[in-house]
Amino acid sequence: MQMQRSIRLPSRVRRGPYQLVGAVAICLVAAYILVGAQQFSNFLTVGAIYALIALGYTMVYGIIELINFAHGDVFGMGAFVALWLLTVAGFHGAIDNPLVLAVVLVALFLLTMGIMGLVGMVIERVAYRPLRNAPRLAPLITAIGVSFILENIMQAFFGPSPVTSPQIFDLNARFNVAGASIGYLNVFIVLVAVALMIALQVFVGRTRLGRAMRSTAQDREAAQLMGVNIDQTIAITFFIGSALAGAGGIVWALYFGYALFNQGFYAGLFAFTAAVLGGIGNTTGAALGGFFIGFLYVAAAQYGYFRWFEVLVFGVLVLVLVFRPSGLLGQQLGERA
Amino acid sequence: MQSRTITALAAAVVLTAGACSSSATTAPAGGSSAPAASTGAGSSTAVGGKSVTIGVDLPLSGGEFANGDPTKKGIELAVNQANQKGGVAGYKIVLSIKDDAVNGVHNPQQGATNIQGFVADPTVIGVVGPFNSNVGAAEIPVSNRAGLLQCSPANTNPGLTKPQYGALSIRSAYPNRINYIRVATTDDIQGLAGAEFAYNDLGKRRAYVVDDTETYGKGLADVFVTQFKALGGTVIKQDGAPSSTTDYTPLLTAVQGQNPDVVYFGGVTATGGGLLRKQMAQVGMGNIAFGGGDGIVDGPGNVQGSFIKVAGSAAANSFGTVAATHDIPNASAFSDAYKAAYGAAPGAYSASAYACTQVILQSLQAVAGSASGSGLREAVRAYATDSSHSFTTQLGTISFDQNGDTTQHIISFYKTDMSAAGGVGDWVFVRQQDFGGAGSSGASAAPGASSAASPAASQ
């Protein structure tokens, strides 16, 4: 119990959970006032997608200190797997029956997340595990190589043009609230993202495997001495991180109705920024960072500075790295100095 | 239409190609001794006799055959007709045909190598080609240094000719000795034409403009904005959305309250054109007109990755411009002659290639009395690129401006028809218009010239 306690409190920022919740609530209200109800729903949707991708980045970094640059392409591949599954299953347009829709969505999420989790495990086994004790530059460069390999695989199978996906969720199903017209799909995306984040927190914080992950992150050798199977733990971390990226891909395919072989590159960079912003290694921070990037996106669009969005995002990245390298919330998954 | 897309996409590539062309093209200098892909119809015969050679550089193998072959046949048709009449000024015309495709894809390096082969052959008085803009960017430095006339039937990238788009670095050896001319107008005229169409034909007054921040797209959108304002319209906002953008809903939400009646996109389908249109419908802006350049006029709805495929049913009520002539003068006479010779209908660029050949042959006719032998090449180049000369061609009477661009600026307009192509939707031709003079010096041309363009001035 003692160990668990010390880990759940970040070492640098000793802030209680209620303070964090309060800060987030204040930020949300400020965001709402700044961009209005309609853009607020846009912001939550985009933010949820970036947050899902950022979680995988941060988990992998937290446990083996690897910036997994292939992670963005795992997300991109998730979108392709989702659209491929939907196409093979013979869907074309929106499914009207909510019960059928729910069943299809559950199956879609389970299958796609499972497949992408396995892809993540394979990548780890083939490309990263042999380099685990190599200098840190080696796996980083390998990760870039894996990123290109994944993109080329997608291009080989699906071609260089955007591929359209069946959109089983009716985009025109909307409701009006506070003068804004909000799609049920937007609500669904945010709910799915938040549910997955909560599930992840519970898994890491309350389960035996989660404790193995945290101990591996904290001190790999000591964890091994205490009987933790390091290889298995790292493989599971990749499975979960990649499955979450896969979930991001599904949501993407449902919402945008298309996938492009190299779409994961930029989405991955934005999500990486989100992870660094929140404190790389810190899952709560990554989620909040994802929403922050989503807010930047919408605010830039609202105020006519969209041309500068990439400058804004990477400017934030530089500022964080210079002034607060441990991110806004500090590192949390383990407690690395 | 698909070849148009390739050219449009090449616009994005050509910047890179242009940037490295000066170093890239000097590298394969040794290649001139072994022109690998020459499929030549034997050329260097009878050097001292009355015969001259026209070089042909086109992509002729692999997936590019469909583009290159009908274009090549247009050239052959013109040469055969000339030879049947006893040649030009006593010269028999011989063709030397080279393929610039490698592994089935047009290749700038191969193109440059081919041009070096033509330069080394003293009987070559001019070259027809290339087909693709990025190949042109690699070839022009070579032919410019040698002073060899090139006429492209299909290139539309403004960077190949216009100084403000960087053409001076492509013809850096002799920036003022023009040797490259083309019969297709440039992409930058499209923005101007798009504004005319939106304002005059569609009666739109409030435009929202998005560009993809790339050379082709931003250039197109900037010209549209200038021209639309000059006509009296209001441009609510111009946003730049890099090609990494996939969610346009925040951008659309931001302008929705200001009631735009047309949205213009500078870019290609792959950099967001299709998605933007689709998401307009998603946020309830689906019945607002949508327009763009040839980057979105990319085939019917059953082509994977095409604008109509990506946008789906939202593609309705869209228009696009293409920098090419849809209806050529005397089309049936040309078509009949072509069919009689090759047993098939002419391709999209057959008439353009025929016209390029006509320009070279008419130049030869004009200078044959005063020049001969090794002086012929330079005399032909000087005559063809002199902006005071005009040529009677299959595309009409044309001449070339101080940069080598055709003075004929015909833009064809297309609209989406969702019932076309068997119900999957396709682009249908609306009308074409010559924007002659309006943009001859490029995107920055005074918009005042537009007053000549009325909606009635079709074809």
Among the partner residues A164, A183, A309, nearest to B309 by beta-carbon distance: A164
A263 to B246: CB separation less than 8 angstroms, yes or no: yes
B310 to A258: CB separation less than 8 angstroms, yes or no: yes
Amino acid at B29: A
- Interface check for B239 against chain A (CB to CB < 8 A): the answer is yes
Q: Is the dihedral of CA A258, A260, A264, A266 positive or negative?
A: negative
B310 to A306: CB separation less than 8 angstroms, yes or no: no
**Helix (H) / strand (E) containing A200:** helix A184-206
CA proximity to A51, closest of A277, A305, A265: A277
Mutate to test the interface with B, among A83, A161, A163 (most CBs of B within 10 A): A161
> Considering just the CA atoms, what is the radius of gyration of chain B in Å?
22
Query: Any idea which residue has 């609230």 for tokens?
Result: A177
- Interface check for B8 against chain A (CB to CB < 8 A): the answer is no
CA distance A304 to chain B (A): 7
B250 to A181: CB separation less than 8 angstroms, yes or no: no
B253 to A302: CB separation less than 8 angstroms, yes or no: yes
Instruction: Report cis status (omega within 30 of 0) of the bond before B130.
Output: yes
CA gap A20, A311 in Å, rounded: 28
pLDDT digits (tens, 9 = 90+) for B280-325: 988 889 899 999 988 888 878 887 778 898 888 899 999 999 887 8
Burial label, A126 (beta-carbon count in 10 A; 0-12, 13-18, 19+): exposed
Contacts of B208 in chain A (CB under 8 A): none
Contacts of A45 in chain B (CB under 8 A): 247
- Interface check for B274 against chain A (CB to CB < 8 A): the answer is yes
CA proximity to B365, closest of B75, B91, B47: B91
CA A111 to chain centre: 18
CATH 3.40.50.2300 in chain B is located at 2-185+329-398, 188-322+410-452
Give the count of Cβ contacts less than 8 A between chain A and B. Answer: 84
pLDDT of residue B290: 95
Strand B150-152 and strand B124-128: pairing? parallel
Both tokens of B289, joined, read 């007109």
A298 to B250: CB separation less than 8 angstroms, yes or no: yes
Q: What is the DSSP string of B87-136?
A: -BTTBEEEEEEEE-EETTEE-HHHHHHHHHHHHH-TTEEEEE--SSHHHH
Strand B150-152 and strand B101-102: pairing? unpaired
Among the partner residues A45, A164, A181, nearest to B310 by beta-carbon distance: A164
Helix (H, G, I), strand (E, B) or coil at B446: coil
Contact predicate B123/B80, CB 8 Å: no
pLDDT of residue A148: 92
Pick the CATH number of B188-322+410-452 from 3.40.50.2300, 3.10.580.10, 1.10.620.20, 3.30.2350.10: 3.40.50.2300
Among the partner residues B213, B253, B304, nearest to A38 by beta-carbon distance: B253
Contact predicate B269/B306, CB 8 Å: yes
CA distance B365 to chain A (A): 47
CATH 3.40.50.2300 is the classification of domain B2-185+329-398 = yes
Among the partner residues B239, B274, B284, nearest to A304 by beta-carbon distance: B239
B312 to A164: CB separation less than 8 angstroms, yes or no: yes
- Mean pLDDT of residues grouped by 10 in chain A (337 residues)? 40 62 86 86 92 90 87 94 91 85 93 95 93 88 93 87 84 82 91 93 90 89 90 93 94 89 88 89 89 92 90 91 83 49
Contacts of B270 in chain A (CB under 8 A): 161-162, 260
Among the partner residues B239, B269, B274, nearest to A307 by beta-carbon distance: B239
B242 to A309: CB separation less than 8 angstroms, yes or no: yes
CA distances to A28, A38, B75, B403 from A32, rounded to whole Å, are: 6, 9, 64, 54
CA distances to A259, A282, B256 from A193, rounded to whole Å, are: 20, 17, 28
Q: What is the DSSP string of B361-389?
A: HHHHHHHTTT--GGGHHHHHHHHHH-TT-
CA distances to A101, A320, A331, B223, B254 from A305, rounded to whole Å, are: 38, 21, 32, 20, 11
- Interface check for A196 against chain B (CB to CB < 8 A): the answer is no
Task: Enter the pTM of the model.
Answer: 0.76
Per-residue pLDDT of chain B (459 residues; tens, 9 = 90+): 344 444 444 444 433 333 333 333 333 333 333 333 333 344 444 434 589 999 999 999 877 787 789 999 999 999 999 999 999 999 999 999 999 988 777 899 999 999 999 999 999 999 999 998 889 999 999 999 999 999 999 888 889 999 988 899 999 999 999 999 999 888 888 899 999 999 999 999 999 999 988 877 888 899 999 999 999 999 999 999 988 888 899 999 999 889 999 999 998 888 888 899 999 988 889 899 999 988 888 878 887 778 898 888 899 999 999 887 888 888 889 999 999 999 988 888 899 999 999 999 999 999 999 988 889 999 999 999 999 999 999 998 999 999 999 998 888 899 999 998 788 888 889 998 888 754 433 333 333 333 333 333 332
Amino acid at B330: N
Strand B391-393 and strand B396-398: pairing? antiparallel
Contact predicate A289/A54, CB 8 Å: yes
Mutate to test the interface with A, among B213, B275, B280, B282 (most CBs of A within 10 A): B282
> Packing angle between helix B350-367 and helix B65-84, nearest 10 degrees?
40
- Interface check for A188 against chain B (CB to CB < 8 A): the answer is no
A163 to B304: CB separation less than 8 angstroms, yes or no: yes
CA proximity to B32, closest of B142, B161, B185, B126: B142
Show Cβ contacts of residue A121 under 8 Å, excluding neighbours closer than 6 positions.
A235, A238, A239, A242
Phi, psi of A173 (to 5 degrees): -75, 105
Mutate to test the interface with A, among B212, B245, B249 (most CBs of A within 10 A): B249
Burial label, A28 (beta-carbon count in 10 A; 0-12, 13-18, 19+): middle
CA B414 to chain centre: 17
Report ipTM (2 d.p.): 0.84
- Interface check for B240 against chain A (CB to CB < 8 A): the answer is yes
User: A176: which strand partners?
Assistant: A181
Dihedral over alpha carbons B200, B202, B207, B209 (to 10 degrees) = -100
B253 to A304: CB separation less than 8 angstroms, yes or no: no
pLDDT digits (tens, 9 = 90+) for B7-53: 444 444 433 333 333 333 333 333 333 333 333 344 444 434 589 99
Contact predicate B337/B330, CB 8 Å: no
Phi, psi of B114 (to 5 degrees): -60, -45
In total, chain B counts a number of residues equal to 459
